[in-house]
Amino acid sequence: MSSPYSAIFAAPGSKGFSAAGFLGRLPLSMLGIGIVTMISQITGRYGLAGALTATNAIAAAVLGPQVSRMVDRHGQRRVLRPATVLSLVSLAGLLLCAHQRWPDWTLYVFAAGAGCVPSVGSMVRARWAAIYGGSPRELHTAYAAESVIDEVVFIIGPILSIGLSTAWFPEAGPLLAGCFLAAGVFWLTSQRATEPRPHPREAHESGSALRSPGLQVLVATFVATGALFGSIEVVTVAFAEEQGHKAAASVVLAVYALGSCLAGAVFGLLHLKGEPARRWVVGVCAMAVSMIPLQLVGNLPFLAVALFVAGLSIAPTMVTTMALVEQYVPRAQLTEGMTWTSTGLAVGVAFGSSAAGWAVDAAGAAAGYLVPGTAGMLAAAGAFLGYRRLRPAPEQVGVGADDGDDESEQALA
């Protein structure tokens, strides 16, 4: 009996675009932590490092949905390539400014420009939706597979970024992240057969996907969730340095991602019944509760175990989120809708990274774990308060299945 995972990858072109998406997403886990490591290595200022990471994340939050909205209108190839070139040029400028010790304001300018990086994960998930839009079980498995890939990215990325920046030269991690971005995006956009067809008229006439009340709840809650993720990265690097093993931060963060990876792999094999919105609220609350042990951290082994347990709730929650997005936005705006959830995370990462950096500078790394703890409580509160709005709009019910069939035929042609 074949695995559900092997069954979904039987679709023509699916292995290629998923592999390209893996490469293109590596910067997601490498760039932020790479900037933190690079700046802390060069200047020793965690406050500046966190602020630059926040600047990059805010720029990505502002530009990402606009890029994805243009993708829905004009297609992935026409939009992603120029956006990627702009991001790469800005990243090169950031590395040059850091290396030359130019004024801080130059770092902020180029960190913002590098935020034009496209949401590669949304592009890949849109391709899966084009193939399996009319098959909920297969699409659930496909989204779970992509969540597992996300976590593999977060296992490998920090190890590469922190390891290279500490063992080779400070700019090495972000530099390699740019190389992966270029390779992944240009490989993905060269695969035309599986590219979802654009919807120029529908995407233009429908306005922003963020008009959906359900999507608004997801995005607002994900701001707090992103703050949790972003602050954990910064504080963990600082905590490992205080313990005298800064490079070990990459391993500890990889363990965090490993917990999510394993949970996502199992979750993809399940076909749960019941209300997805309720599962989503439970997942967000589980993430919040998992922050409690971090307040007691005293050494790196204990931290690794606590983060592994905390990671178990991440991937299932993210898979459920993608299923909810499909309920809340029309097919013509699916890429934009998925990107808005990433935007919420990016905004949260910006606030969380900055707050964690200042907390570490002011009170030390152990006290910095209060930041993700607070973010977790805010996320849980947002999920509870918004639960009643997590219902699909009447005009969107059934839209995904019909459009998915049309796009499946085109993608498999």
Please report the pLDDT score of residue 391 as a whole number. 62
Q: Where are the domains of the chain?
A: 13-412
pLDDT digits (tens, 9 = 90+) for 253-272: 888 888 888 888 888 887 77
Please report the pLDDT score of residue 167 as a whole number. 83
Please report the pLDDT score of residue 392 as a whole number. 53
Tokens of 199: 């919807």
Tokens of 265: 């792999």
CATH, domain range 13-412? 1.20.1250.20
Please report the pLDDT score of residue 362 as a whole number. 83
Please report the pLDDT score of residue 130 as a whole number. 87
**Can you say whether residue 207 is alpha, beta or left, with left for phi > 0 and alpha for psi between -120 and 50 degrees?**
left
User: How close are the terminal C-alpha atoms of the chain, in Å?
Assistant: 27
Among the listed residues 310, 354, 291, the one whose alpha carbon sits nearest the alpha carbon of residue 36: 354
Please report the pLDDT score of residue 184 as a whole number. 95
pLDDT digits (tens, 9 = 90+) for 89-123: 999 999 999 888 888 899 999 999 998 888 898 89
**Can you say whether residue 397 is alpha, beta or left, with left for phi > 0 and alpha for psi between -120 and 50 degrees?**
beta
Please report the pLDDT score of residue 2 as a whole number. 56
Do residues 298 and 318 touch, judged by C-beta distance below 8 A? no
Please report the pLDDT score of residue 179 as a whole number. 95
The whole-angstrom separation of Cα 218 and Cα 373 is 19
Q: How far is CA 117 from CA 31, 64, 90, 151, 259, in A?
A: 11, 7, 10, 19, 27
Q: What is the mean pLDDT of each run of 10 residues along the chain (413 residues)?
A: 77 92 89 85 82 84 84 88 94 92 90 88 89 82 85 80 85 92 95 84 60 84 90 87 82 86 84 80 93 88 92 88 81 79 79 83 84 93 86 46 38 32
Instruction: Name residues whose C-beta falls within 8 Å of residue 213's C-beta, 6 or more positions apart in sequence.
Output: 328, 389, 393
